[in-house]
Amino acid sequence: MSSDDRARGTGSSEQPGPKRKHPGKGISTRSVRGGEAKHKSEGSLITPIFQTSTYIFQNCAEIRAYNAKEVERWEYGRYGNPTQRAAECKLAELECAEDAFLFPSGMNALASTLLTLLKAGDHVVLAEDCYKNTRRFCELVLAKFGVELSLVRAGDMEALEAAIRPQTRVIVAESPTNPLLRIQDLHRLVALANSAGAELVLDSTLATPYNQRPFEFGVRYIVHSATKYLNGHQDLMAGALVGGAREIELVRTFCKPIGGVADPHQSWLLLRGLKTFAVRMQQHNRNAQIIAEFLEQHPRVRRVWYPGLASHPEHALACAQMDGFGGMVSFEVEGDEEQTLKFVDALDLWLLGPSLGGVESLVSHPATVSYSDFTAEERNRLGIYDNLVRLAVGIEDADDLVADIEQALSRI
């Protein structure tokens, strides 16, 4: 692999298709400047933290104008705040969407969206290898309110179509999935949802707006765990719903009586993290491609899961609808669970822990971490084998990360 290949982060693999044209400024400029007023309160360069629960009115005429929606301003912190709104506008610009709504966590964003769209007697279709807590929410919480659920294999469009009923109101999908990084055909998902009269809710956390913008494919409900790549520094919990203006307003209105909005400091931390979003994603993409290619040729590795490799089952689809392949790599060690855990413990730079998307590289053993409460049979059905390792690739020097993996693999 040449140094130019390494710099692009695509290696010898097929590169993504032509970059799609976007109106307005580039993604680096939108990361730094998007969503924020040029001239801010008190001449501040950075959007301030509006740390207040209550906003006062000058007189009753201003209240009447506010109630009539003749003026845009704030009333009470549970309905939003200026710092939060700046972060929402930045997220919408990055996603090339119409609007966004910021939540305290990604699961809060997803749960609030599903509760908005569903009622008793409705039916949801969900990929069985989705994020564990998404599945748990549908199985345990929605079921209490009379919402039925069908699970299908991710990417199996025939099974998905067969699972749709007249009562189907929502299809929930992820692309890429976690931890096997399966890619969904967004055009087909949107077409199928439209033909069924259902809404498509897509978790695009692993792709990020840097690599994939589902709104361009017609997805109107796009969920992110902003804790991950959007913030990028492992010091914040936040979630976001991004998409169509009408759809976002529907969810925002539903959430007014129940709360669940990001607080001012949360929003400010996300704004700070998003300033470096584009440059971080360049390095995540580059490092992950280099590591995936190294692992694929290593004799102590059985299989590598990364959309940027030609061996990935949806590599061609990923090239067609993504501008980069992300910062997560999963692989199977050539060995049993004991040897796999020995490899994990031998790592030095890779820190053992859950989550992903931060500047520090993390390693996880899905069978004993995120899927520890599944039976061995359930895990195997999902492809979560005892020798599977998930790497959340950070932005350290790729050569150092590779060297650490190499020395750890030599221990087994």
> Is residue 306 a contact partner of residue 181, using CB atoms and an 8 Å limit?
yes
Active site residue 132: no
Partner residues linked to 173 by β-bridges: 202
Active-site residue among 99, 203, 263, 386? Answer: 203
Q: In what order do the strands lie in the sheet with 351-352?
A: 301-305, 328-333, 388-392, 362-364, 351-352
Active-site residue among 213, 228, 252, 286? Answer: 228
> Is residue 301 a contact partner of residue 409, using CB atoms and an 8 Å limit?
yes
Active site residue 400: no
Nearest of 160, 174, 168, 94 to residue 132 by alpha carbon: 174
State the first-to-last Cα distance of the chain, in angstroms, to the nearest integer.
27
> Is residue 362 a contact partner of residue 248, using CB atoms and an 8 Å limit?
no
What residue has token string 């999908």? 173
How many whole angstroms separate alpha carbon 30 and alpha carbon 91?
9
Alpha helices in 170-276 (DSSP H): 186-196, 208-211, 245-255, 264-274
> Is residue 70 a contact partner of residue 190, using CB atoms and an 8 Å limit?
no
* DSSP states along 159-196: HHHHH--TTEEEEEEESS-TTT-----HHHHHHHHHHH
Distances (CA, A) of 237 to 27, 81, 106, 175: 23, 17, 8, 21
Active site residue 306: no
Task: Return the amino acid letter for 347.
Answer: L
Active-site residue among 78, 165, 275, 300? Answer: 78
How many whole angstroms separate alpha carbon 210 and alpha carbon 279?
10
Active-site residue among 122, 129, 131, 220? Answer: 131
Active site residue 21: no
Catalytically active residues are 78, 131, 203, 228
